[in-house]
Amino acid sequence: MSLTDFKSLFHLQIFVFNSKPAVEELEDEDLSDSEDSVYSGLEDSGSDSEDDEEQGSHEDDNVEAESVRSQIEFDLSHSSNLLQYFDLLIVVQDIRNTVGNIPMEWYKDFPHIGYDLDGKKIYKPIRNKDELDDFLDKMENPDYWRTIHDKQTGNDIVLSDEQVELVNRLQRGQFGDVNFNEYQPSVDFFSKDVMLHPVTNRPADKRSFIPSLIEKEKVSKLVHAIKMGWIKPRRVEDDSRGRYYNLWASEDSSILAKHRMHLPAPKISLPGHQESYNPPPEYLFTDEERALWEQQDPSDRKLPFVPMKFSSLRQVPAFPRFIHERFERCLDLYLCPRQRKLRVNVNPEDLIPKLPKPKDLQPFPTTQSLVYRGHSSLVRSISVSPSGQWLASGSDDGSVRFWEVCSSRCMKTVQVGGVVKSVAWNPNPSFCLLAVALDSVVLILSPCLADRQVISSSERLLFGQQEAESVEGAASVTWVEAEGDELNQGIRLKIQHPKAVHQVAWHAKGDYLASVMPDHSSHLQVFIHQVSRRRSQNPFRRNKGLVQCVSFHPVRPYFFVATQRSVRIYNLIKQEMTKKLQANSKWISSMAVHPGGDHVICGSYDCRLSWFDLDLSTKPYKMLRHHKKAVRGVAYHRVYPLFASASDDGSVIVCHGTVYNDLLQNPLIVPVKVLRGHVISHDLGVLDVTFHPTQPWIFSSGADATIRLFT
């Protein structure tokens, strides 16, 4: 190995040397004080044999090492180059073992580990350590982690702190020398200034003036090959013979698809081990498997035959189902579909609609603020006054309560003596009236919770001019004025119906009132009452299904009637049906009309909420299946783009629904909040829901006899 190789080895593997750090030796400046100097390399390498010849060789090595060491001390005293000292150190260190760069495992079974310069054997040191001693040394020796084994000499070497730091720096990809600056300024040999003299003034070569003989030989060979006909030039194709063009280019795309479709015939599956005449034992049926195979239908069997085993191929009988299988194969070819269905590669992330974040759609109700307690049974219906100051509620305990919204204080309680199915506050702010559905009676209450002018206008509406003429179907409806205690409680009028009333709904102007009496056997299911003239009429002559709920259009003269499966829209002026909406649900429970009038939402008992765009289609634009149980009530907000649904699962889901003025842009529907607070009682959760007329608040009534305000 040359001295250059030793230099490179020293920079990369300095921790292998059986020596103390060179920096320490330079600091001590005394290399001859210790008799067992590590640079001699003789303190651990000799064997314990008493052979005089071997001992003599070791003594000769000591003499040589002492002479070289003294030479090192002399050179160090006269040289300032540290690398020269390292080179001499490498020569001293590796002068003992002359085996070269070979795997030291070759000496594993020999008592020696190599040869010195005189060709004499270098014996291995005696190592009496076993696995247990090595483990104890590992546990007790604090320098075990920095101890390495030198395969060249067979000794254990303890690395110093400087050597460990050098190894760590090399492992981190840093330079071995701490003082080396890898970011030193570079020397710009070539500047942007044009110099007078060139960098190199070497004259041009002679070969740059004479033609190349190698290229001349190549060209002459190519010319000879062309003359002999070995290399032929490319032929130019004649376009006059005929041009190829697309015959179906001008055809329709559908016709073109028919011509280009090619559907290969279905292939028979390759035979397996079961069809062999000598199958492995695991493929043969047991008695239980064979009995099960015989009981199964032929279409349900995994195999159309029973695997059988024969000792030779000559003993295999004829296959009895050969003609039957050929016939089935012909059927497969004949009944094979002649249309190829192309698979559309769709990114799953593109199918998810890009919806805005709920925090960007504020304001909407998020937290429960107030709880209105006072009813003793479930609260079926609630309604908010047009001013937003008062809240009316009807319960199964036979009472109607009026609450102050901001303080949750019960201002007034009216005992009506029956189960209240529905309450509806007059939407006209000029009146202060409340309609209550009670059994077969609709009560008109004046709660007197407004100023004197509004109360007086309400009284004039109730006791103004009266209509004496009879209207068709009005004979079954009777108007009665309240007297005595009922008059003191605020009850002004009582409208007697032939059957139980389930819902009441006001017109936007506050003079007309609609009542619903669901009944399959009669066409008297909907009545429209005019309060000012005290007259009633049945708008339908024929039974079109079980009516669930009705609603007036907020702006136009339209009347919405929801049956079990559909919603019919009638024009009250023309007296005809204009549109029929298919809800795609089994049983509609509730309905709400958008303040703009062009959108309708319907809740159903099969946990669905349908959004209809009246300008788009008669089928739902969007089906929301967020609830786990029946949807009991739905509501729109008058001002904010919000709508909500109440369900028996005890939750109220508030959604953001933006309706754009551009008819080409679809509504944006985003669920924003799930409100919980009601306790489920007798499998009933939230029964009714309504919004505050001006604030982004929502009221909900439930089967736990409470009303809750979410803000």
Predicted confidence at residue 394, as pLDDT, reads: 92
Chain center to CA of 35: 74
Integer Cα distance of 40 and 454 in angstroms: 119
User: Would the pLDDT of 533 be above 90?
Assistant: no
Instruction: Report, as an integer, the average pLDDT of 522-548.
Output: 85
Residue 524 lies in a domain: yes
Residue 470 lies in a domain: no
Secondary structure letter of residue 15 according to DSSP: G
Predicted confidence at residue 552, as pLDDT, reads: 92
Q: Please, which pLDDT band fits residue 179 given cuts at 50, 70 and 90?
A: confident
Residue 661 lies in a domain: yes
Residue 305 lies in a domain: no
| Vertex 434: Cα angle to 560 and 465 (nearest 5) | 90
Residue 316 lies in a domain: no
Encoded tokens for 685: 């959760």
Domain CATH number, residue 678: 2.130.10.10
Predicted confidence at residue 13, as pLDDT, reads: 42
Q: Which residues partner with 569 through β-bridges?
A: 560, 579
Could you please report the per-residue DSSP string of 428-448? -TT---EEEEETTEEEEE---
Between 260 and 663, name the one with better pLDDT: 663
Residue 74 lies in a domain: no
Nearest to 513 by CA among 593, 447, 433: 433
Three-class DSSP labels, 327-347: HHHHHHHHCCCCCCCCCCCCC
Chain center to CA of 299: 40
User: Would the pLDDT of 59 be above 80?
Assistant: no
Encoded tokens for 486: 């009922």
The residue count for the chain: 711
Report which listed range, 220-229, 231-240, 353-362, 659-668, is most confident. Answer: 220-229
CA-derived radius of gyration, the chain? 52
Instruction: Report, as an integer, the average pLDDT of 176-202.
Output: 81
User: Would the pLDDT of 11 be above 70?
Assistant: no
| Vertex 240: Cα angle to 239 and 246 (nearest 5) | 65
Integer Cα distance of 166 and 180 in angstroms: 13
Residue 135 lies in a domain: yes
Nearest to 654 by CA among 587, 606, 594, 700: 700
User: Which residues contact residue 695 at a Cβ distance below 8 angstroms, ignoring those fewer than 6 apart?
Assistant: 388, 711
Integer Cα distance of 558 and 571 in angstroms: 5
Query: pLDDT tens for residues 643-676?
Result: 999 999 889 999 988 888 877 788 888 898 899 8
Predicted confidence at residue 644, as pLDDT, reads: 93
User: Would the pLDDT of 635 be above 90?
Assistant: yes
Encoded tokens for 203: 């004259």
Instruction: Report, as an integer, the average pLDDT of 396-414.
Output: 89
Domain-ending residue, one of 122, 139, 155: 155
Lowest mean pLDDT among 22-36, 326-340, 466-480, 530-544: 22-36
Residue 126 has a CB neighbour count (10 Å cut-off) of: 11
Instruction: Report, as an integer, the average pLDDT of 261-273.
Output: 76
3-class secondary structure, 77: helix
Predicted confidence at residue 215, as pLDDT, reads: 93
Residue 518 lies in a domain: yes
Nearest to 289 by CA among 272, 270, 307: 307
CA dist 208 → 205, 213, 220, 276, 497 (Å): 6, 12, 21, 79, 120
Three-class DSSP labels, 461-518: HHCCCCCCCCCCCHHHCEEEECCCHHHHHCEEEEEECCCCCCEEEECCCCCEEEEECC
Instruction: Report, as an integer, the average pLDDT of 251-255.
Output: 54
3-class secondary structure, 366: coil
Nearest to 265 by CA among 348, 329, 190: 329
Between 466 and 542, name the one with better pLDDT: 542
Query: pLDDT tens for residues 311-346?
Result: 999 999 988 888 988 898 888 877 776 666 677 788
- Please count the structural domains in the chain: 2
Predicted confidence at residue 34, as pLDDT, reads: 36
3-class secondary structure, 577: strand
Between 489 and 261, name the one with better pLDDT: 489
Mean predicted lDDT score pLDDT of the chain: 79
CA atoms within 13 A on the CB side of 397: 16
Predicted confidence at residue 18, as pLDDT, reads: 37
Predicted confidence at residue 654, as pLDDT, reads: 92
Integer Cα distance of 249 and 467 in angstroms: 78
Alpha-carbon torsion angle 598, 519, 586, 626, nearest 10: 60
User: Would the pLDDT of 239 be above 70?
Assistant: no
Predicted confidence at residue 82, as pLDDT, reads: 37
Secondary structure letter of residue 102 according to DSSP: S
Lowest mean pLDDT among 85-89, 219-223, 529-533: 85-89
Integer Cα distance of 374 and 688 in angstroms: 17
Query: pLDDT tens for residues 298-320?
Result: 888 888 889 999 999 999 998 88
CA dist 47 → 63, 148, 376, 561, 601 (Å): 18, 21, 105, 112, 100
Between 279 and 201, name the one with better pLDDT: 279
Chain center to CA of 105: 57
Instruction: Report, as an integer, the average pLDDT of 546-574.
Output: 90
Predicted confidence at residue 217, as pLDDT, reads: 95
Q: Please, which pLDDT band fits residue 280 given cuts at 50, 70 and 90?
A: very high
pTM of the model: 0.53
Are the C-beta atoms of residues 619 and 665 closer than 8 Å to each other?
no
Instruction: Report, as an integer, the average pLDDT of 177-196.
Output: 81
User: Would the pLDDT of 542 be above 90?
Assistant: no
Predicted confidence at residue 471, as pLDDT, reads: 54
User: Would the pLDDT of 24 be above 50?
Assistant: no
- Kindly state the helix (H) or strand (E) to which residue 287 belongs, with its residue range: helix 287-295
Integer Cα distance of 157 and 20 in angstroms: 9
Integer Cα distance of 341 and 358 in angstroms: 40
Are the C-beta atoms of residues 419 and 396 closer than 8 Å to each other?
yes
CA dist 398 → 378, 381, 413, 515, 638 (Å): 10, 12, 10, 19, 30
Integer Cα distance of 398 and 378 in angstroms: 10
Query: pLDDT tens for residues 112-168?
Result: 888 888 888 988 888 778 889 888 988 999 999 999 988 887 788 999 999 999 999
Integer Cα distance of 669 and 657 in angstroms: 5
3-class secondary structure, 600: strand
Residue 130's domain spans which residues? 92-155
Between 192 and 171, name the one with better pLDDT: 171
Domain-ending residue, one of 155, 184, 200: 155
Lowest mean pLDDT among 3-7, 237-241, 326-330, 584-588: 3-7
Domain-ending residue, one of 133, 155, 177: 155
